[in-house]
Structure 1
Amino acid sequence: MREISGHRKRKYIPVDIEEVEVRSKYFKKENDKTVESLQDTKIIGDLSNHEVNIDWIKALKPIEYFEWIESRTCDNPKTWGQAITKEEMVNDSRVEIPKNFLPIYNRVRLMRSKVNTPVDAMGCSMIPVLVSNKCGIPSEKVDPKNFRLQFLIGTMLSAQTRDERMAQAALNITEYCLDTLKIPEGITLDGLLKINESTLVDLIRCVSFYTRKANFIKRTAQLLVDNFNSDIPYDIEGVLSLPGVGPKMGYLTLQKGWGLIAGICVDVHVHRLCKMWNWVDPINCKTAEHTRRELQTWLPHSLWYEINTVLVGFGQLICMARGKRCDLCLANDVCNARNLKLIKSSKFHQLKDEEDMEKVYSHWLDTLTDGITAQRHKRK
């Protein structure tokens, strides 16, 4: 078995059970002429910020499909090195953008552009590609429908589980499909239906709540056949109808499966950091869903996808819930929650001139790398 190594005035946003963003159960399908027109003019299936052309996406070949998803949901940290300008901070609402958002977020993006974190290597968005590579399945041989399914399964495995363990569980299922069921594509819907639930429990034992998740996966496989034409749903209502799938998983599945940016993925890191920086009301936003709702009232849609990956990686390595590294944080002079005692031991806040920045980054990376290595050894 392989292994995979400042306060502002705001309006309280109540959270309802129903997702108000959902316009209808499924997005309206375009007729053949519309699809042909989109292809002829090379409009990549994008109808608006909040919907996509499902028929067009389903017709894409593997390489075209992955290029489309990449164009909508880029996960390359190198792209975050360029600062966001005030002119780019355009939203469709009248809700005020927090004054400390750009100063903090730009520096967090800069830090994220210079170091890879666990979510970059083994996060949900990387699992289908990572596992396929491990098993020698080239991307041009990966059916987009199977990729969408594999991504959904990865998100279901990820709940309250470290990325490394989630990746291992996905690899275990893939190997079983390859070696025992003789399915060359790895995880497929047919394969999941054939795997006995007790066998699935053993394959994913490395993740938390593995018995419950195995049951969720088996039930989901049958629901996809019965209700969704053997593919993953393409609206939030459909995704949330699957057992064990919450809003964070649901919106992420839509993003990476269909390129549909219909909502912000808010996990524990995003929830914690947004409250800490007062980007959302720290008192009224008691849950991640509260935070998502308020964040979406003012955050420009262009940042709805990236903010999750940016903040998750930052929360994993630099601003952890316990043991924050304010001494290493390049935003320690603008952060409202900084630890002044830690900052006094930092060599970074004293170096402000541009000619010193390369030296700062070099020392920062060396120190951070040493810290990551020590943390990994401690886990083992």
Structure 2
Amino acid sequence: MVRRSKRKRVEVEVEVEEGEVSKYFKKEETSQLPEFSSRDELDEVDIDMVKAMNADIYYDWVNARTKDDIGAIEIIDRPTFPRNFASIYPKVRLMRSKIATPVDTVGCASLPITVSKEFGISRNDITPKNYRFQLLIALMLSSQTRDEANAKAIHNLMEYCIEELKNPEGITLDCMFQIEEPVLAKLIYPVSFYTRKAMYIKKSIQRLVDDFDSDVPTTIEGYLSLTGVGPKMGYLALQKAWGKVDGIGVDVHVDRLCKMWRWVDPAKAKTPEHTRKLLQEWLPREFWYEINPILVGFGQVICLPRGKRCDLCMVNNICNAVDPKKVNQKSSSQNALRKGRGNYAEWIDYFKQTTEGSDISIESDRKVTRKEL
């Protein structure tokens, strides 16, 4: 029962079947879901209603509010947009819909479901309250940590809760309360700053018990009151826990790409939080949720901090940061699919068939060559 009182990194290889594309952006059929007639109505969330939902309604309801059928889109330019946004974003969005990336399966929002499945626990067997808690733990562990390492840590916690604490539900608030801080630190060893994060988690769990009725907060202020939780974690948690899109979750990829494309002024955006505020000044609210998973996945697989794949990028003719040498290099799709963090086999096929102004050919040895005309 819950009491009322008071470095070495391990990376997990993410296996993605060849040809598989991002499930994150596959629109799901939903049933028994409320219809929304306006964005203002969509912004209103009845927390009591959400807490009363069972699993089969809850997950579809949250997904309906935070997931679009990502693909081709036309954006009409506005005076408030950065000059290249309307030309770059739709193409990045399209690319992203055809690429399987780590964030799709082991990103924080997907991680509780992905890891639970490994232990024979289906999505609808995870109570919404436990999912919200597991999402918070995944977010707290994710800081300065690759998704794959975070997945290993969550796997360790799930295994310990099931096998050592004999809880068939896996990670729950009660189980995490029972784990002593040194043991917790050892279990989350794959993530960076694991001893500090173990301390943060233990303090936050007590706060959830004392101030939030053993559930997660329902406001950004509530999340920020938890030790070790910042705005990025808070806004992402609100989106997937409660279906509330109150702000943009800006991580290192969103921050980096928005500065690279000058969607925000790098001189003013000294931190991801600065980037969030500047981005929210002009980005239409309907894109506030999707821009995070779109840019994160794009930054993980195509436009990496190091080793950019400009040769496979649809915006390499308009990107201000394109590397001409990368554009003209020969690229082995087989090696990339085997060694890279994601899978873009479907994107390669689409790219070679539809890219205008270029000659794309895939040779018999599966080497991809792009030659500008």
Query: Shorter-chain-normalised TM-score: which range?
Result: 0.7 to 0.9
- Asked if structure 2 preserves the Cα contact closer than 8 Å seen for 1:50 and 1:261, the reply is yes
Distance 1:361 1:226, change over 3 A: farther
After superposition, the Cα gap between the structure-2 partners of 1:183 and 1:277, relative to the gap in structure 1 and judged at 3 Å, is same
Q: Deviations over 1:166-209 (max 9, x none)?
A: 01101111111111111111111111111111111111111110
Residue 56 of structure 2 is matched in structure 1 by 63
1:74 aligns with 2:74: no
Question: What are structure 2's unaligned runs of at least 5 residues?
Answer: 1-11, 15-31, 332-347, 369-373
Is contact 1:151-1:253 (8 Å) kept? yes
Instruction: Return the match for 2:217 from 233, 237, 244.
Output: 233
Counterpart-to-counterpart distance in 1, 2:154 and 2:190? 10
- CA distance in 1 between counterparts of 2:301 and 2:354 reads 25
The number of residues matched between the two structures is 319
Amino acid across the alignment from 2:71 = G
Aligned to 1:23: none
- Seen in structure 2, the aligned counterparts of structure 1 residues 243 and 361 have a Cα distance that, compared at 3 Å, is farther
Give the match for residue 155 of structure 1. 139
Name the structure 2 match of 1:264.
Answer: 248
**Counterpart position of 1:13:** none
Matches within 5 A, 1:26-41: none
Q: Is the 8 A contact 1:108 1:314 kept in 2?
A: yes
**Is the Cα contact below 8 Å between 1:318 and 1:326 reproduced in 2?**
yes
Please show how residues 1-380 of structure 1 align to structure 2 within 5 Å.
5=14, 42-43=34-35, 48-74=41-67, 79-86=69-76, 96-345=80-329, 354=354, 360=360
Name the TM-score, length of structure 2 as normaliser.
0.79
Amino acid at match of 1:68: W
Quote the Cα distance in structure 2 between the aligned partners of 1:367 and 1:159: 36
Give 1:162 shift.
Answer: 0.8
Structure 1 residues 247 and 352: alpha-carbon distance in aligned structure 2, compared to 1, 3 A threshold = same
Cα deviation 1:224-250 (Å, max 9, x = unaligned): 000001100000000011011111111
Alpha carbon RMSD of aligned pairs, Å?
2.8
State percent identity of aligned pairs. 51
Unaligned runs of 5+ in 1: 6-39, 369-380
Q: TM-score, normalised by structure 1?
A: 0.77
Contact 1:165 1:206 in 2 (8 A): yes
Amino acid corresponding to residue 82 of structure 1 in structure 2: A
Q: 2:307 corresponds to which letter in structure 1?
A: G
Q: CA deviation at 1:362?
A: 7.4
1:325 touches 1:342 (CA, 8 Å); kept in 2? yes
- Contact 2:133 2:215 survives alignment (8 Å): yes
